[in-house]
Amino acid sequence: MAIVRAETAGVPPTVTTAANETTVPIFCWREFACGWGAAFVNITATYPIYKMIFRQMLHGVHLTQAYGQLRSEGMTFLYRGIFPPLAQKTISLSLMFGVYDSTRRPLVEYCHVNPYTAKTVAGMAAGTVEAVLMPFERVQTLLADAAYHQKYRNTHHAFKIIIMENGIKELYRGLVPILWRNGPSNAMFFILREEADSRLPKRTSIISQRTQEFVAGACIGAFISSLFYPLNVLKVTMQCRVGGPYENMWAALQQVYNDRDRKLRNVYKGVSMNCTRAFFSWGIMNTAYEQLKKVFY
């Protein structure tokens, strides 16, 4: 088996299997496109729910209080800050699916790596690459926090002020918990998703197919999101500050634990709403992704 580099411009390199002479593209742009489209549908539908979860993470308040905060601010601020997650998540999911597929295929087809090992490595690689988009997540955190409503007018203004006052490094505050979250959660998602796809019964009707796609993606997403929820709490805690010394993840963990009355259950405040959002978010994303695959392939 060999990797064949195309001589003609625009033709992606492929992996060729000597036994049957089949070729598998190493780089498949369709996976990137499907990921981008699925994220766009997902974010526009679930952003208001995200803002309620964010307020619970940041202030440790109940759902009704978070809802009351958003309601008092009005519709003007409801979708404030949507551009950073829209830009970040569309590119992020594009990279997530595209990098995963482009990494896994050569490992399995060319290097003969165990499929589960290949999926784990590819998922970790995709999650690490996604971290380059962290500045969008950083600005999204600040725009969603009521404490910065007057200081930052919009995404462009926030980027400008942060860089002018604190430098580019400030955009990467809270990087460590993001790396710990992205890689393992991506690997787990792809392994569970492909296991579900291969083990669940094949449905014949369109409605049952869509329902199964939604439920599979929703359950996997809700489980993983809840499992890694404390890392998101740490990320929000670290990123809600601008300027000053940089805390390491363990110091932030101690602070959160102490601020939440030294009770682990208080660290998980907001997890129920987060689980609900993840359920619908990943269900929508998985269904949209499968439909886009049928369009592009």
Q: How far is CA 123 from CA 104, 154, 283, in A?
A: 8, 33, 19
And the tokens for 57? 């993470």
Are 67 and 128 contacting, i.e. CB atoms less than 8 angstroms apart? no
Q: How many Å apart are CA 9 and CA 144, to the nearest integer?
A: 44
Q: How far is CA 118 from CA 216, 222, 241, 248, in A?
A: 22, 24, 38, 31
Quick one: the chain helix, strand, coil %, rounded to 5?
Answer: 75, 5, 20
Kindly indicate the confidence band of residue 14, based on its pLDDT and cuts at 50, 70 and 90: low
Reply yes or no on whether the pLDDT at 2 is more than 50: no
Tell me, which fold does domain 27-296 have in CATH?
Answer: Mitochondrial carrier fold (1.50.40)
pLDDT per residue over 105-139, tens digit each?
A: 999 988 999 999 999 999 999 999 999 989 988 99
pLDDT per residue over 251-280, tens digit each?
A: 888 988 998 888 888 888 889 888 988 999
Kindly indicate the confidence band of residue 146, based on its pLDDT and cuts at 50, 70 and 90: confident
pLDDT per residue over 170-226, tens digit each?
A: 999 999 999 999 999 999 999 999 999 999 998 889 999 999 999 999 999 999 999
Percent of the chain with pLDDT over 90: 52
pLDDT per residue over 32-56, tens digit each?
A: 999 999 999 999 888 888 888 888 8
Q: How many Å apart are CA 10 and CA 18, to the nearest integer?
A: 24
Q: Which DSSP symbol is given to 16?
A: E
Reply yes or no on whether the pLDDT at 18 is more than 50: no
